[in-house]
Amino acid sequence: MADTVIRSEIAGKVWKIEVPAGGRVAADEPILILESMKMEIPVNAPVDGTVTEILVAEGDTVAEDQILARLG
């Protein structure tokens, strides 16, 4: 099974990582939270799985469509 790529839908800053690499998530559960224009925007898992890789750190600035994480 191929990894599922998680991308940012907006430009912003990584406010908090909710699930570290190796953690299990259910569909629609937040993996991390972005901050943009003083709003907190959760980035949710599209499917059940294990976070295989987190490609950003808390405090990082991210661009729209940037890959943030992978689920396996």
pLDDT in tens, 39-58: 999 999 999 999 999 999 99
Percent of the chain with pLDDT over 90: 96
- Rounded Cα distance between 21 and 47, Å, is 16
pLDDT at 2: 72
Is it the case that residue 21 has pLDDT exceeding 70? yes
| pTM exceeds cut of 0.85 | yes
Domains contained in the chain, CATH given:
4-71 (2.40.50.100)
Res 1: pLDDT: 52
